[in-house]
Amino acid sequence: MKREDGRAVDEYRPLEIKVGIIPNANGSAMVKMGKTVAIAGVYGPVEFLPKHKQLSDRAVLRCIYTMAPFSTEDRVRPGPSRRSTEISMVTANALSPVVFLEEFPTSVINVFINIIQANAGTRTAGINAASVALADAGIPMRDLVASIAAGKIGDEYVLDLAGKEEEATKADIPIAYSPRAKQITLLQMDGDLPPADVKKVIELNIKACEKIYETQKTALKERWKK
Amino acid sequence: MKREDGRAVDEYRPLEIKVGIIPNANGSAMVKMGKTVAIAGVYGPVEFLPKHKQLSDRAVLRCIYTMAPFSTEDRVRPGPSRRSTEISMVTANALSPVVFLEEFPTSVINVFINIIQANAGTRTAGINAASVALADAGIPMRDLVASIAAGKIGDEYVLDLAGKEEEATKADIPIAYSPRAKQITLLQMDGDLPPADVKKVIELNIKACEKIYETQKTALKERWKK
Amino acid sequence: MKREDGRAVDEYRPLEIKVGIIPNANGSAMVKMGKTVAIAGVYGPVEFLPKHKQLSDRAVLRCIYTMAPFSTEDRVRPGPSRRSTEISMVTANALSPVVFLEEFPTSVINVFINIIQANAGTRTAGINAASVALADAGIPMRDLVASIAAGKIGDEYVLDLAGKEEEATKADIPIAYSPRAKQITLLQMDGDLPPADVKKVIELNIKACEKIYETQKTALKERWKK
Amino acid sequence: MNIQKEFILRCVEEGKRADGRGLEDFRKVEIEHNPIENAEGSARVKIGETDVIVGVKLGTGEPFPDKPDDGVLIVTAELSPIASPKFEPGPPREGAIELARVVDRGIRESGSIDTKKLCITPKEKVWCVFVDVQIINHGGNLIDAYSLAALTALMNTKMPEYDGEKIDYSKKTKPFPLKDKPIAVTVCKLGNSLVVDPSLEEEEHIEARLTVTTKENGNVAALQKGGGPLSLEEIEKAIALSVKKGKELRSLL
Amino acid sequence: MNIQKEFILRCVEEGKRADGRGLEDFRKVEIEHNPIENAEGSARVKIGETDVIVGVKLGTGEPFPDKPDDGVLIVTAELSPIASPKFEPGPPREGAIELARVVDRGIRESGSIDTKKLCITPKEKVWCVFVDVQIINHGGNLIDAYSLAALTALMNTKMPEYDGEKIDYSKKTKPFPLKDKPIAVTVCKLGNSLVVDPSLEEEEHIEARLTVTTKENGNVAALQKGGGPLSLEEIEKAIALSVKKGKELRSLL
Amino acid sequence: MNIQKEFILRCVEEGKRADGRGLEDFRKVEIEHNPIENAEGSARVKIGETDVIVGVKLGTGEPFPDKPDDGVLIVTAELSPIASPKFEPGPPREGAIELARVVDRGIRESGSIDTKKLCITPKEKVWCVFVDVQIINHGGNLIDAYSLAALTALMNTKMPEYDGEKIDYSKKTKPFPLKDKPIAVTVCKLGNSLVVDPSLEEEEHIEARLTVTTKENGNVAALQKGGGPLSLEEIEKAIALSVKKGKELRSLL
């Protein structure tokens, strides 16, 4: 199969990770995946207010995902949407398992994810950025989380759909993955696939996550060198 | 006078009351009045938060009336409207006089009324359901409250207007009534009637409330038998 | 230059100030400037709630500017707009320097400004009214603040633009001024003027503020006589 | 508070009010016509210390699908915090909503406005009549004050000219199609007595209130009970009293 | 709480549920057809103590610019506080939004609705299909209950007549263009086991959940993981279990 | 805090800044052109640690009734909480609103945009120019940074093609009708001195600020005073300083 941009079916777009891009934040990162650009900033842990929202035995990891108005062809209206609220929620679920939240009872860790430019895969780029930003903030973690999506076009399992591939695919399956625990922390799917294909696509995603994970670690090492 | 559905002028639509339809609620009821269906659920008394809204000498009876989006021909947009806010307020006024609110200072008793299907008389059906739900919740009460509306068509005083009668009437007068104290706890009117007619219509309503009251008590007895 | 309403270029519209027009308020005033009518009511100082908004070393002067829906030719939709939020903010900045806020730590002084009729100069009329209302409330002040706007039409510096003059002007510069301290507490401008002209227009405004200041003081004396 | 309440109730028992009025007396009612030039009609009404301005604005819009040739009436209310330390900034809550809806129903149900005459093009364009209030001071009995000011403002309203594209607010000539003069009078149960026009202090201690809006022919156009319960006898008396006081207020117009 | 949790988990370890069910058993499922006359189609579904009503309403509107000849599907959810002490009044928050979006995707991605047949005039006017839910009691497993009720309501839907100007809701005759029967089954990880149809008490103690929506041909149309992590093996098992239980539920229709 | 304030003020008294700059020196200004492909024009501006991206998007809409043949300019600002621990999630509050309105007025009042050239069909359809900002890091002096980035983004903007029905964002060719290059410079009173380009730490201790937006010909297009009072002499000096620094910044474009 020939892909629009010449990639192999199991090849993701050029990935670039920069750590520490927001001086005010406790931790931050920018992730570019092809033309998709996400930034993440971590603030906290700080006391969670109002008090009645505090959890007595652990911190709350609060994620807020937003898109810059100019990030897409049709301008995005500012303010939360149903889509952004859901992505914020699944992002928090994707990251929470690897953070030692139990070390910070009654606290909140705020993770802000802003999409600067959107071209498929904004939620996975956001998770990749947020995972690195949490580590950059020095928050104790069991592991990093890597994230990517894949689908099936014709008979082929195809990684990191972009451009017109999104319309051609029979399904779009994003995952987030913690390599050390071999655990999937995010899984969604829209489409139409037999169960066996779902498994194949997830496996393709997992392999890619293991590579992204290496790039994440390298980016953090670069940062710590400075 | 011949009515659309063959009823006598002083006859209300078939009334059905079921108690205890919401297992999670402290008390609940469903009221069907012809094709109008209302459910009510009571939660509390519980501490009223935020604290600055508490009353030091009694509980607040908070009513929230809403219509299911599919309950009318033209879909109802979710969220409060000016109409629903006003009905919530007059419903709380209709029920508060019969509840021993002074026994629960600093508390709130939440009464939720949802209209499942609307065909005239939703506020009165809601009050009938809420009154029974409060009793089902075991909240100490002086009495039950019964509620219905009436109007005048041509020269006749007509009970429980439904269907096209609503357009033909010269006035629509809903009341809520506490039979033991012989007190009217809700009274509204839209229309155009001489004062003497207003009195006749209210008297017609009171008579009907006394019958509805019996049906409410029977429904509660059925419930307590189980 | 001939002005629409026959005024001299350095003459403002007929100014009328009435103090004590809102019995419920701690202090109040109505200001008419030509056809523009503003009322201001002051409530406080009272404890600022919620507590986390309190300032430990002084009071907050909170201003809320609103326009009555019927105050303009095209009805104003109720609720805050970006414009009214900004005017509220610059109004608070215009008044705060003359109030001894440090005498009331953790408190709030609420200043409500409602425009009853709008015909140019509503923000300046509101500040003139609020300044007098603060004094009427007995709040300790260093000085009063007077406010007016001016512009340039053709080669002339023109005070208190009204009617079609607003379209003809090269710039509209409102100021607020504390005469005793000779300080400018509000300064905004929209337009297109060389820096030297900006200075001339501000000077014209300052002269007028000194006159308005006298009218403010007279109105307060009238009030205290009663 | 208890002392105030006792005093108010004792006065009423003795057949007079804390401020010396009789049970069925209004405070001084003052009406100012057209104080707002930018409105198509306006009125300022003072009842004792209560002080409100109502402005009527006309715009154009689409009719409701089920009433394709009727103009649209929109009555709003905000409890502006300038008028009372008890009013808070923010969107209208139940008190403001009830105020607006009671005034609205009084005008609407009395058939006071000939809405057919407010149709420009059936199904497409009709006049929208906005009735808005600025409360300057809340001294009790806002419903009656707003209702009276709204009626007066509508009586003062002139239609602006409209050429099919733009409204010319500088030319207001044609009369507004007003057909009746509905008056709202709120009767309050204070102790065991019925009184009209409660002051702010009295309002805090009433058991119940009943607003009765009456037409010129004496018919009732709208009722709204607030607060606690009333007996049928009390309701009858309240309606009779409202009819009587309504006539008096109407004579001021 | 700890005792409840221990009991629930011990039962599951022993291969059964706290209420005596097997790990792969649903509670009793009851379906009532068309309880709502004012809806174009409706269904009430009870799964154990969970009780929901779904109504389908049809209106007309403009199509989306990028799909000029497709009808529009709008699925909403409110967690009405009548149904649980944990639900609060106010606009939908993330729980309600996820519920609506998962049900929406199940219907949309399975291609269950032939949206082309809901086009009236391309680029200008299409049918809008509103799917709304009233939760009466929240007894756990809301996603599956809403999904099943939504599908049943759509199967029960009849199109009202439309003359190009007005919808005549009194005449509903034409069938609704439904092409598939997607069923959502949510598998939960409870301790180390996978179970279906969690009760309210079980839901509080699950590690993770995976909702799998399957089509009539056994294909997966939508996935949504909630809660904590799952291994690939667990996901495989959950999908297989969902396919199996989905068929059982579909046979009830 | 007091120590920081004292240090900052002592430096200024001695004619320099806490970070070594002179009173009239900007921090390092970096401009990146068109970092956002999906925008019609964009710019990233860094001033010291302050880091903002501005994107210009073009859409179509109705003109305002009183300006039937003018395009519409919409400038917004959100203080994204990603950029500072002091920014909170939620709708724009007064700080964000002032930022947007000051940038808006600088562009609008300077006549920088030839809005007549943005008219498509008079009274019916015009171009809407959206100027939006993403603040990445708030290191002080946001007004100047946003203004500079907005101007640069507008200079970089190309109009997409429009066939009367749909915008083709893949073809952006025609230049955007920009007529002037307004620059905003905010002068701050720190102790008794006037400085430009305050750092985040300095901003906390300023007495007052005056933003002056100047045109290419040196005229003032907009003024906005923030914070406390200023004397006429201080205002004169601030304007002169802004004109001078504005020229320097304009030379970077």
Nearest to A202 by CA among E236, B136, D252: E236
Return mean pLDDT, chain A. 96
Among D147-156, E148-157, F2-11, F140-149, whose mean pLDDT is lowest?
A: F2-11
Burial class of residue A6, CB neighbours in 10 A (0-12, 13-18, 19+):
exposed
CB contacts of D55 in chain C (<8 Å) are 68-71
Mean pLDDT of E165-175: 89
pLDDT for residue F1 is more than 70: no
Cβ–Cβ below 8 Å for E83 and B40: no
Say what percent of chain A tops pLDDT 70.
100
In a domain, E98, yes or no: yes
Cβ–Cβ below 8 Å for E57 and B69: yes
In a domain, D15, yes or no: no
Alpha carbon distance B170, D219 (integer Å)? 11
CB A32 within 8 A of CB A15: yes
D26-83 per-position pLDDT tens digit: 999 999 999 999 999 999 999 999 999 999 999 999 999 889 999 999 999 999 999 9
Confidence grade of residue A168 (pLDDT, cut at 50, 70, 90): confident
Helix (H) or strand (E) holding A177: strand A171-178
The residues with which B98 forms a beta bridge, in sequence order, are: none
CB C32 within 8 A of CB C50: no
In a domain, C25, yes or no: yes
Establish if E29 touches chain B: CB-CB under 8 angstroms: no
Burial class of residue A116, CB neighbours in 10 A (0-12, 13-18, 19+):
buried
**Confidence at residue F51, expressed as pLDDT on a 0 to 100 scale:** 98
Q: Which chains touch C (3 or more CB pairs under 8 A)?
A: D, F
3-state secondary structure of F52: strand
**Confidence at residue C13, expressed as pLDDT on a 0 to 100 scale:** 97
Establish if E113 touches chain B: CB-CB under 8 angstroms: no
**Confidence at residue D109, expressed as pLDDT on a 0 to 100 scale:** 87
Return mean pLDDT, chain B. 96
In a domain, D33, yes or no: yes
Among C63-72, D38-47, D162-171, F29-38, whose mean pLDDT is lowest?
A: D162-171
Q: What is the signed CA dihedral for E235, E237, E240, E243, rounded to 10 degrees?
A: -60
In a domain, B2, yes or no: no
- Of the candidates D91, D134, D139, the beta carbon closest to that of C68 is on D134
pLDDT for residue D96 is more than 90: yes
E5-26 per-position pLDDT tens digit: 999 999 999 999 999 999 999 9
Helix (H) or strand (E) holding F194: strand F193-196
CB contacts of A88 in chain E (<8 Å) are 94
Chain E segment 48-67 residues within 8 A of B by beta carbon are: 49, 51, 53, 55-57, 59
E21-43 per-position pLDDT tens digit: 999 999 999 999 999 999 999 99
D211-247 per-position pLDDT tens digit: 999 999 999 999 999 999 999 999 999 999 999 999 9
Cβ–Cβ below 8 Å for D232 and B203: yes
Cβ–Cβ below 8 Å for A71 and F36: yes
CATH of the domain at A201: 3.30.230.70
In a domain, E157, yes or no: yes
CB contacts of A96 in chain E (<8 Å) are 228
Q: Which two tokens stand for residue E247?
A: 């068929």
State the Rg of chain B over Cα: 17
pLDDT for residue B1 is more than 80: no
Q: Which chains touch B (3 or more CB pairs under 8 A)?
A: D, E
Helix (H) or strand (E) holding D203: helix D200-203
Mean pLDDT of D102-114: 94
- Of the candidates E132, E136, E137, the beta carbon closest to that of B70 is on E132
pLDDT for residue D1 is more than 70: no
CB D188 within 8 A of CB D196: yes
Nearest to E225 by CA among E212, E213, E209: E209
Return mean pLDDT, chain C. 96
CB contacts of A83 in chain E (<8 Å) are 101
Mean pLDDT of A198-216: 98
- Is the torsion defined by CA of B203, B209, B211, B217 positive or negative? negative
- Residue ranges making up the domain that contains C163: 15-225
In a domain, A1, yes or no: no
Establish if D42 touches chain C: CB-CB under 8 angstroms: yes
Mean pLDDT of E124-128: 96
Alpha carbon distance C88, C101 (integer Å)? 18
**F near C: at least 3 beta-carbon pairs less than 8 Å apart:** yes
DSSP codes, E50-69: EEEEEEEEEEEEPPPTTSTT
pLDDT for residue E127 is more than 90: yes
Among A19-28, D178-187, F107-116, whose mean pLDDT is lowest?
A: F107-116
Q: Which two tokens stand for residue E135?
A: 């939760």
Alpha carbon distance C16, C4 (integer Å)? 21
Alpha carbon distance A42, A136 (integer Å)? 9
pLDDT for residue B68 is more than 90: yes
A vs F, Cβ pairs < 8 A, gives 86
What is the identity of the amino acid at B69?
A: P
Helix/strand/coil (H/E/C) assignment for every residue in E110-167: CCCECHHHHEEECCCEEEEEEEEEEEEECCCCHHHHHHHHHHHHHHHCEEEEECCCCE
In a domain, A119, yes or no: yes
Helix (H) or strand (E) holding E31: strand E29-33
Helix (H) or strand (E) holding E43: strand E41-47
CB F90 within 8 A of CB A78: no
The residues, ordered by sequence, that sit 6+ positions from C208 with a Cβ below 8 Å of its Cβ are: C10, C12, C146, C148, C150, C159, C160
B8-64 per-position pLDDT tens digit: 999 999 999 999 999 999 999 999 999 999 999 999 999 998 888 899 999 999 999
The residues, ordered by sequence, that sit 6+ positions from F72 with a Cβ below 8 Å of its Cβ are: F61, F63, F64, F115, F118, F126, F127, F128, F129
Q: Which of E216, E220, E231, E247 to mutate to test the interface with A (most CBs of A within 10 A)?
A: E220
Q: How crowded is residue C35: how many other Cβ atoms within 10 Å of its Cβ?
A: 17
CB contacts of E224 in chain A (<8 Å) are 187-189
CB contacts of B119 in chain E (<8 Å) are 38
Cβ–Cβ below 8 Å for D132 and C69: yes
Return mean pLDDT, chain D. 95
Burial class of residue B66, CB neighbours in 10 A (0-12, 13-18, 19+):
buried
Integer angstrom CA distances of residue E199 from E28, E30, E49, E227: 12, 16, 8, 16
Beta F125-137 vs F72-75: how paired, if at all?
parallel
- Of the candidates F39, F56, F137, the beta carbon closest to that of A23 is on F137
CB contacts of A101 in chain E (<8 Å) are none
∠ CA A126-E105-E162 to the nearest 5 degrees? Answer: 135
What is the identity of the amino acid at B105?
A: P
Nearest to B189 by CA among B145, B158, B151: B151
Alpha carbon distance D231, D208 (integer Å)? 11
C121-168 per-position pLDDT tens digit: 999 999 999 999 999 999 999 999 999 999 999 999 999 999 888 888
In a domain, C8, yes or no: no
**C near E: at least 3 beta-carbon pairs less than 8 Å apart:** no
Helix/strand/coil (H/E/C) assignment for every residue in chain C: CCCCCCCCCCCCCCEEEEECCCCCCCEEEEEEECCEEEEEEEEEEEECCCHHHCCCCCCEEEEEEEECCCCCCCCCCCCCCHHHHHHHHHHHHHHHHHECHHHCCCEEEEEEEEEEECCCCHHHHHHHHHHHHHHHCCCCECCCCEEEEEEEECCEEEECCCCCHHHHCCEEEEEEEECCCCEEEEEEEEEEECHHHHHHHHHHHHHHHHHHHHHHHHHHHHHHHC
CATH of the domain at E181: 3.30.230.70
- Is the torsion defined by CA of C214, C216, C220, C222 positive or negative? positive
Confidence grade of residue E1 (pLDDT, cut at 50, 70, 90): low
pLDDT for residue F62 is more than 70: yes
ipTM summary value: 0.94
The residues, ordered by sequence, that sit 6+ positions from F160 with a Cβ below 8 Å of its Cβ are: F40, F58, F167, F168, F169, F171, F172
Domains in chain C, number: 1
- Residue ranges making up the domain that contains D120: 20-250
Q: Which two tokens stand for residue D4?
A: 């105030």
Site of tokens 């715009």: D59
Nearest to F142 by CA among F200, F61, F87: F200
CB A24 within 8 A of CB A8: no
In a domain, E11, yes or no: no
Domains in chain F, number: 1
DSSP letter at B51 equals G
Q: Which of E97, E189, E230, E243 to mutate to test the interface with A (most CBs of A within 10 A)?
A: E97
Measure D84 CA to nearest chain C CA, in Å: 6
pLDDT for residue B217 is more than 90: yes
- Of the candidates C88, C97, C195, the beta carbon closest to that of F228 is on C97
What is the identity of the amino acid at D55?
A: G
The residues with which B107 forms a beta bridge, in sequence order, are: B47
DSSP tally for chain D: helices H, then strands E: 5, 12
Measure D77 CA to nearest chain B CA, in Å: 11
**A near E: at least 3 beta-carbon pairs less than 8 Å apart:** yes
The residues, ordered by sequence, that sit 6+ positions from B130 with a Cβ below 8 Å of its Cβ are: B29, B40, B42, B63, B91, B95, B111, B113
Cβ–Cβ below 8 Å for F134 and A75: no
Nearest to F229 by CA among D244, C64, A19, C209: C209
